[in-house]
Amino acid sequence: MSIHKKLYRSGPYADLFSQGVQVGNALYMAGQVGIDESGAAPQELLEQMSLAYRHVQDVLAQFDATMDNIVDETWFVTDVNDCMAQVEALFTERQRIYGKVPEVSQTLVQVAGLVDPSFKIEIKCIAVTE
């Protein structure tokens, strides 16, 4: 049995990694980090989260999807205590980005580190398209 996959690749490692893959109506996105156009990560967790979601939106757009299509998200953070200390501001910004209270399942995972020591958060999502 052959599975039809639609891939989206971008960025400096596009020949190695996919930003997203769609199988049927399921869209699996690679973790997105909060970097700006120059590849730099701001120091603040809130800013990194906002940029990471901007990249999530960019991947979704490649599959004609929006934040409304997300059904599950995982936040990988390097400091869960810092995250929880800012949870109100983070969730307020998250709601602004979604345009409403998100209707998703969410997992928060503390990790020892991300691919770059300046990264504080990586957001991985699963979406369902029509």
Over residues 46-63, the mean pLDDT reads 97
Q: Say what percent of the chain tops pLDDT 90.
A: 85
Over residues 4-8, the mean pLDDT reads 91
Query: What pLDDT, on the 0 to 100 scale, is given for residue 98?
Result: 97
Return the higher-pLDDT residue of 122 and 37: 122
Kindly give, in sequence order, each residue whose CB lies less than 8 Å from that of residue 50, ignoring residues fewer than 6 positions away. Answer: 34, 93, 97
Work out the mean pLDDT of the chain and round it to a whole number.
95
Query: In this structure, how many other beta carbons lie within 10 angstroms of the beta carbon of residue 67?
Result: 19
Check whether 13 has a pLDDT greater than 90.
Answer: no
